[in-house]
Amino acid sequence: MDAAHAAMFTRSNVKKLRMPNIGSALQFEMMKMEILKPLLIAASDDNLTNLRFAKLFRTRRGNRRYLRDLMQKVDAQERNHLTQAICNHVIAPGRAPPFERKLKALDAKLTAEDWLRTALRANAIGMKLKITLRRPDDWHLHLRDGNMLRAILPYTSKHFARAIIMPNLVPPVVTSADAAGYRDRILGALPDGSKFEPLMTLYLTEQTDPDDVAAAHASGLIKAVKLYPSGATTNSASGVSHFDSVRPTLERMAEIGLPLCVHGEVTDSDIDIFDREAVFIDRVLDPIRRTTPGLRVVMEHITTSNAVDYARSQDETLGATITTHHLVINRNHILAGGIKPHYYCLPVAKREEHRLALRDAATSGEARFFLGTDSAPHTDANKLLPCGCAGCFTALNTMSILAQAFEEDGALDKLERFTSLNGPAFYDLPANEDTITLTKGDPVTYPSHVETPDGPVTVFDPGFDLNWRVE
């Protein structure tokens, strides 16, 4: 149990034993380490001493969950030599892909930091500032379909190597056959010579077949399943209303290691729109995680300090994406001085204190936070309706905005982690080998609109000059 509840047990017959970095599913992890039975026997024999427990708990040195959580914790503290020691300890007996990738990422990080220090010195004497990063990925992207897909895809494929593709089409991508067809349409819309890889997802419904999900995962077709609460956002009418009905699918996903991407908002009419994320965490997300041990979950496009705090309190099976626009705007940008429909998105931007919490998380370098732009194109005609669509189109200028924001926060050395390293590590994929270079100079001019056969799409305007450009 957690420390707060443990503190309630104060009688003399209570012995408190700490098991840090093991996560919330203690019974499951103790069974994996084969120490639960010896602990119970020792307790029943009144022989459970601190020394006896310490000897049994040494088996954690071979427990991957413990070691991954410990690795991520010391990595977030930038204790690089200790992180390397943990990775080498795990790799020594045999293959351990997540730890091997972390060693590679550390090498890349140290190289990037050395480059940044050199670049900053150069900038101080008037030379042009450049930073080179591994090519980024977008872990939450809307591409739409048909004319819109063909018009906007090149803007993502120009800078990003891969993207988790959202399945909320009309009709939604609910089966492996749907995902295969959509993937083929995306590949067919790519510019000649593009190496962009769409990472497909399935739209979770109350009729989803766990066997179809498992088969799609086993074939390599899908990388995640997306949970939309019914009515939460664009094209979410087919989403989930009764969460117990999807439990068999979630349990199968936990077994096979397939991540669940979550739009984290309740849709109850009595819950204020600015509170929907925090209420979802308490009412839906935390119960799902407690009842489905081992399920890997991505809290998508988090918007509150509540979500940041919750993510930081969890083990390595929970990640969180943060959008470009939520790092820049708060709710005043939408409402103050007149309604700005092109800043309207879901989840809606919150108070300034929440935006600052997101900035702190994104620029921290912590492994659990990574980029998911949620770039979501809508024609101006649909954005400007009396009941306009939610979404910000950031595919063109995301990297410029992020470089500007990270520089402002003194965290340019963490930009590569957020955009290029943390996401692949969570999804157990290798980081990209090729690179992009950003250069700081005179303000960059981006088009205000992108023309599509369906009509113009407004490009997100951060409200300040952008001095970083992708070469």
- By annotation, the residues acting in catalysis are 374
Q: Could you check whether the bond before residue 171 is cis, i.e. omega within 30 degrees of 0? A: yes
Instruction: Identify the bridge partners of residue 262 per DSSP, sorted by sequence position.
Output: 227, 299
Distance CA 166, CA 139 (A): 9
Asked whether the CA dihedral 159, 160, 161, 165 is positive or negative, the reply is negative
Residue the block writes with tokens 């030379």: 127
Instruction: Identify the bridge partners of residue 222 per DSSP, sorted by sequence position.
Output: 200
Q: Is 180 helix (H, G, I), strand (E, B) or coil?
A: helix
Distance CA 32, CA 69 (A): 16
Rounded to whole angstroms, what are the CA distances from 420 to 109, 395, 403, 470? 10, 16, 13, 15
316 burial (CB, 10 Å; 0-12 / 13-18 / 19+) is buried
List b or e across 407-446, with b for residues whose CB sees 16 or more CB atoms inside 10 angstroms.
bebebbbbbbbbbbbbbbbbbebebbeeebebbbeeebeb
The phi and psi torsions of 319 (rounded to 5 degrees) equal -120, 170
